[in-house]
Amino acid sequence: MDSIIALTNWVTEQTVLYTVIKIAAIIVPLMLGVAYLTYAERKVIGYIQVRIGPNRVGPFGLLQPIADGLKLALKEVIFPAKSNLYLFLVAPVLAIGPALAAWAVMPFDATLTLANIDAGLLYILAITSMGVYGIVIAGWASNSRYAFLGALRSAAQVVSYEIAMGFALVGVLIAAGSLNLGEIITAQQGGFWNWYWLPLFPLFVVYFISGVAETNRAPFDVSEGESEIVAGFHVEYSGMAFAVFFLAEYADMILISMLASVLFMGGWLSPFQGIAGLEALFSWVPGIIWLLMKTCIFLFLYLWLRATFPRYRYDQIMRLGWKVFIPVTLVWLVVVATAQVFDIGPWFTEAVL
Amino acid sequence: MEQVIFYCFAALLLFASSMVITVRNPVRAALFLILAFFTSAGIWLLLDAEFLAMTLVLVYVGAVMVLFLFVVMMLDIDLAPLQEGFTQYLPLGIFVAALITIEMIAVLGASHFGLDIVAAPIAHPEGYSNTKEIGLLLYTIYVYPFEIASVILTVAIIAAITLTLREKKSKSQDIDKQIKVQAKDRVRIVKMEAVKKQESES
Task: Please tell me if residue A316 touches chain B, with a CB cutoff of 8 Å.
Answer: yes
Contacts of A136 in chain B (CB under 8 A): 66, 69-70, 73
Task: Please tell me if residue A130 touches chain B, with a CB cutoff of 8 Å.
Answer: yes
Mean pLDDT of A287-309: 89
Kindly identify which residue of chain A lies nearest to residue B55, measuring between CA atoms: A126
pLDDT exceeds cutoff 70 at B78: no
Pairwise pLDDT comparison (B196 vs B39), residue with the higher score: B39
Tell me what pLDDT residue A353 has. 40
- How is residue A233 annotated by DSSP? G
Q: Are A312 and A219 in contact (CB under 8 A)?
A: yes
Residues 82-101 of A with CB under 8 A from B: 87
Instruction: Name the pLDDT band for B82 (thresholds 50, 70, 90).
Output: low
Among the ranges given (A2-11, A301-310, B51-60), the one the predictor scored with the smallest mean pLDDT: A2-11
Instruction: Name the pLDDT band for B155 (thresholds 50, 70, 90).
Output: very high
* Closest-CA distance of chain A to residue B113, Å: 30
Contacts of A118 in chain B (CB under 8 A): 50, 129, 131
Kindly identify which residue of chain A lies nearest to residue B65, measuring between CA atoms: A133
Kindly identify which residue of chain A lies nearest to residue B69, measuring between CA atoms: A136
Question: Of A43, A38, A214, nearest to A131 (Cα)?
Answer: A214
Contact A127 B31 (CB under 8 A): no
What percentage of chain A exceeds 90 in pLDDT? 12
Question: Of A137, A151, A155, A128, nearest to A90 (Cα)?
Answer: A137
Contacts of B31 in chain A (CB under 8 A): 87, 137
> For residues A176 and A197, what is the distance between their CA atoms, to the nearest angstrom?
13
Interchain CB contacts (distance < 8 Å): A and B: 72
Q: Closest CB to A140: pick one of B61, B63, B73.
A: B73
Residues 98-157 of B with CB under 8 A from A: 129-132
Q: Closest CB to B69: pick one of A117, A136, A353.
A: A136
Question: Of B37, B139, B128, B36, nearest to A119 (Cα)?
Answer: B128
Tell me what pLDDT residue A278 has. 74
> For residues A55 and A43, what is the distance between their CA atoms, to the nearest angstrom?
9
Contacts of A317 in chain B (CB under 8 A): none
Tell me what pLDDT residue A274 has. 73
Q: What is the DSSP string of B102-125?
A: HHHHHHHSHHHHSTTTSPPPPPPP
pLDDT exceeds cutoff 80 at A310: yes
Contact B55 A122 (CB under 8 A): yes
Tell me what pLDDT residue B11 has. 92
**Mean pLDDT value across chain A:** 84
Q: Are A239 and A76 in contact (CB under 8 A)?
A: yes
pLDDT exceeds cutoff 70 at B184: yes
Q: Are A322 and A160 in contact (CB under 8 A)?
A: yes
Tell me what pLDDT residue A351 has. 47
Contact A87 B62 (CB under 8 A): no
Greatest mean pLDDT range, A20-29, A55-64, A204-213, A235-244: A204-213
> For residues A237 and A87, what is the distance between their CA atoms, to the nearest angstrom?
13
Tell me what pLDDT residue A254 has. 92
- The pTM score is 0.83
Is the bond into A219 cis (omega within 30 degrees of 0)? yes
Question: Tens digits of per-residue pLDDT, B106-140?
Answer: 888 777 777 777 777 777 776 677 788 888 888 88
Task: Please tell me if residue A155 touches chain B, with a CB cutoff of 8 Å.
Answer: yes
Name residue A277's amino acid.
Answer: G
Q: Would you say the C-alpha torsion A298, A299, A300, A301 has a positive or negative sign?
A: positive
The upper half-sphere exposure of residue A189, i.e. CA atoms within 13 Å in the direction of its Cβ, equals: 7
Question: Of A215, A223, A250, nearest to A136 (Cα)?
Answer: A223
